[in-house]
Amino acid sequence: MTPWWQEAVLYQIYPRSFADSDGDGMGDLPGITSRLDYVRDLGVDGIWVSPFYLSPMNDAGYDVADYRRVDPVFGSTADADALLRRAHELGLKVLVDLVPNHTSSEHAWFQAALAAGPGSPERARYHFRDGQGRGGAQPPNRWRSVFGGPGWTRVVEPDGTPGQWYLHLFDVTQPDLNWEHPQVRAEFLDILRYWLDRGVDGFRVDVAHALVKAPGLPDYDDAPAAPLTAAGDERPPTHLAPMWDQDGVHEIYRSWRALLDSYGEPARILCAEAWVHPVERAMLYVRPDEMHQSFAFDFLDTPWRAADLREVIAHDRHALASVGAAPTWVLSNHDVVRTASRLGLPAGSPRPNGLGPRSSVRPDPGLGLRRARAAATLMLALPGAAYLYQGEELGLPDHLELPDEVRQDPVWVRTEHRELGRDGCRVPLPWVGDAPSLGFGPSERTWLPQPPEYAALAVDQQVGRPGSTLELYRRLLTLRREHGVGSAALTELTGYGDEVIAYRLDGRSGALAVVVNLGASGVELPGGSTLLVASDPLVAGRLPTDTAAWLLLAEAP
């Protein structure tokens, strides 16, 4: 029997933008609970809910001020319990988000560290250092923040003088914790226990590759970006950077795994958000005594080219199998341009951090949606687990015309507007085509404006409509379950040429094939096979460009 998490499809809910119950324009936990039937009807196995904890919301809740409290904007602890109860009634697993690399600067620990001064035990739970140069006016090293600008900020000491510096790999309001400190380790085990005892089925672990830093915090300049192609991965290994993928993280995850295992069956799970390469390093996170899943971000980052995709899929599967794990496929989340926009860019162009009216590249929306549908049809055919980001099942594009004044991602400010940031993929969902806030909530208010094209893509416009993206996803998820695709044996089908991806899947009921055409001309489907689903209609019996299909293969007599 395959354990549930090895073949599960999990649906990512971004609470701010899923559904608003009280009309304040911000999604909330009662909003999620009220829409869980929709999630169940989609045919997924569970949900991952992005952070809903007490937070000043400088990074949309990834800046946690109290890991055991629900932020009032999202509801109450009782609302979290109600969400869990309803999800479990519907047979859905629930993963919550754990943010262990940093706290909010409003967390009690950081406030205590500021008040206690240099050399205090309170400061030892973070990375405080004296500055360099005259009067310590220069940061301790050249590390940069992922969001732009220096990775260090200087504090004013309790006596009013300019003082030490603290490390923050993300926003200034997200100080990095010092994971060498035993209190930090003990505290997070306790936070895990708190949510496990409330009944959660697991955790998605934020920047799981960042917790441990190289001793002495040695200096480092960011490596230039390099492409990922079938010809080879030219990117320098992540762990050469002293803040990423250090070996010390693994013992932390082993201790968490032991705790989760102590809760018995069915397993409670850990899923790593670790942007780590090459896959020979990424696979270490899913060794049998560590995490259960780790997002296959290489798949998300691979250009829409058959040879590149084939190579990455094969390489990932092979590497993970060597540690007894299955891949966790993903195409989209709240940090990247949505698939329907991203795949509308010229194949191989670097993945932009946001798209807007003045971007140098503009997606072709028709092409993007067509490829997004084919990409989902490919991904859901791959054995292993998969994550879907809310709204992908509607084929939503990014909001490409967001006015600058409404942008909220700290990336926008910290890069001095060089990068637009992630607001475009975080826009509130459309549920009803002709309702205020497109049915997101009972009022007109939405924390980010919705683009006009979302009306026609609303759930009520797609449900039951043949050919809609929503019905495509529902069909794929139904077939995936029926045929046990998530735990099927996959073999590559040859003879289709270089521009086609074709696999045979031996699952629970017979043999299936998935064929994806990325070439210019139509592809003949295997003789005697029955078409189960296609991402777009066949043309003259052939699979056209940028289309994927699942087929039931005729068995030899």
The residues assigned a catalytic role are 206, 273
> Which single residue is written with the structure tokens 């795994």?
257
**Residues touching Mg ion: how many (CB under 5 A)?**
5
Query: Shortest gap between Cβ of 246 and ligand NOJ (angstroms)?
Result: 17
Provide, rounded to whole angstroms, the least separation between the CB of residue 148 and Mg ion. 30
DSSP states along 32-64: HHHTHHHHHHHT-SEEEE---EE---TTTTSS-
In whole angstroms, how close is the CB of 99 to ligand NOJ at the nearest point?
Answer: 6
* SS3 (DSSP) at 532: strand
Look at residue 180 and give its three-state secondary structure: coil
- The answer to whether 398 touches 391, Cβ cutoff 8 Å, is no
Q: Which does 206 bind (CB under 5 to 8 A by kind): ligand NOJ, Mg ion, none?
A: ligand NOJ
Which one of 5, 11, 62, 74 is in contact with ligand NOJ (CB under 6 A)?
A: 62
Residue 197 backbone phi and psi in degrees, to 5: -65, -25
Amino acid in position 104: S
Does position 419 bind ligand NOJ by CB under 6 A? no
Contacting residue, 20, 298, 392, 423, with Mg ion by CB under 5 A: 20
Q: Which does 62 bind (CB under 5 to 8 A by kind): ligand NOJ, Mg ion, none?
A: ligand NOJ
**Nearest CB to ligand NOJ, comparing residues 21 and 238:** 238
Interface with Mg ion includes 187 (CB under 5 A)?
no
Give the x/- contact pattern for ligand NOJ in 190-219, rule: CB under 6 A.
----------------xx------------
170 binds ligand NOJ (CB under 6 A): yes
* Closer residue to ligand NOJ, CB minimum distance, 70 or 211: 211
Torsion of CA 161, 162, 165, 168, to 10 degrees: 110
> Which 29-58 residues touch Mg ion, going by CB under 5 A?
none
Task: Find the binding residues for Mg ion in span 351-410 (CB under 5 A).
Answer: none
Q: What minimum distance in Å lies between the beta carbon of 8 and ligand NOJ?
A: 20
Give which of Mg ion, ligand NOJ, none residue 7 binds (C-beta under 5 to 8 Å, depending on kind). none
Cβ neighbours for 75, distance < 8 A, ≥ 6 positions apart: 28, 29, 30, 52
* 24 binding partner (options Mg ion, ligand NOJ, none; Cβ < 5 to 8 Å by kind): Mg ion
Restricting to residues 100-119, which ones interact with ligand NOJ according to CB under 6 A? none
Least separation, in Å, of the C-beta of 434 and ligand NOJ? 32
CB of 192 to ligand NOJ, least distance (A): 18
320-357: b (≥16 Cβ within 10 Å) or e: beeeebbbbbbbbbbbbbbbbbbbbbeeeeeebbbbbe
Nearer to ligand NOJ, 207 or 459 (CB): 207
Least separation in angstroms between CB 80 and Mg ion: 14
Nearest CB to ligand NOJ, comparing residues 249 and 551: 249
301 binds ligand NOJ (CB under 6 A): no
The distance in angstroms from the start CA to the end CA of the chain is: 29
Contact pick of 59, 79, 301, 392 for ligand NOJ (by CB under 6 A): 59
Write the DSSP assignment of 10-23 as a string of letters.
EEEE-HHHH--SSS
Judged by beta carbon distances under 5 to 8 A according to partner kind, the member of ligand NOJ, Mg ion, none in contact with residue 59 is ligand NOJ
DSSP type of residue 150: B
Residue with smaller CB distance to ligand NOJ, 59 or 290: 59
Strand-pairing partners, residue 128, are: 166
What minimum distance in Å lies between the beta carbon of 107 and ligand NOJ?
13
Q: Give which of 64, 24, 19 is closest to 38, Cα–Cα.
A: 19
Q: Which residue's CB is nearer to Mg ion, number 22 or number 499?
A: 22
Q: What track of x and - describes contact with ligand NOJ for positions 330 through 369 (by CB under 6 A)? A: ----xx----------------------------------
Q: Which is nearer to ligand NOJ, 20 or 423 (CB)?
A: 423
> Are the C-beta atoms of 152 and 128 separated by less than 8 Å?
no
Contact between 22 and Mg ion per CB under 5 A:
yes
Query: In this complex, which beta carbon is closest to ligand NOJ, that of residue 206 or of residue 546?
Result: 206
Q: If contact means CB under 5 to 8 A according to the sort of partner, which of Mg ion, ligand NOJ, none does residue 207 touch?
A: ligand NOJ
Instruction: Write the DSSP symbol of residue 526.
Output: P
Q: Which of residues 279-298 bind ligand NOJ (CB under 6 A)?
A: none
Three-class HEC string of 93-142: EEEEEECCCECCCCCHHHHHHHHHCCCCCCHHHECEECCECHHHCECCCC
Nearer to Mg ion, 22 or 453 (CB): 22
Least Å distance, CB 56 to Mg ion, is: 17
- Cα-based distances in Å from 553 to 397, 511, 529: 34, 6, 5
Number of separate helices (H) and strands (E) present in the chain: 16, 22
- Report the partner that residue 66 touches, choosing among Mg ion, ligand NOJ, none (CB closer than 5 to 8 A by kind): none
Whole-angstrom distance, CA of residue 192 vs CA of residue 186: 10
Maximum C-alpha span of the chain? 86
> Quick one: 28 or 298, whose CB is closer to Mg ion?
28
Gap between the Cα atoms of 337 and 331, Å rounded: 10
DSSP of 440-496, one letter per residue?
SSSSS--SSPPPGGGGGGSHHHHTT-TT-HHHHHHHHHHHHHHTTGGG-EEEEPPSS
Pick from 28, 63, 206, 233: which binds Mg ion (CB under 5 A)? 28
> How many residues make contact with ligand NOJ (CB under 6 A)?
9
Judged by the rule CB under 6 A, the positions of this chain that interact with ligand NOJ are 59, 62, 99, 170, 206-207, 273, 334-335
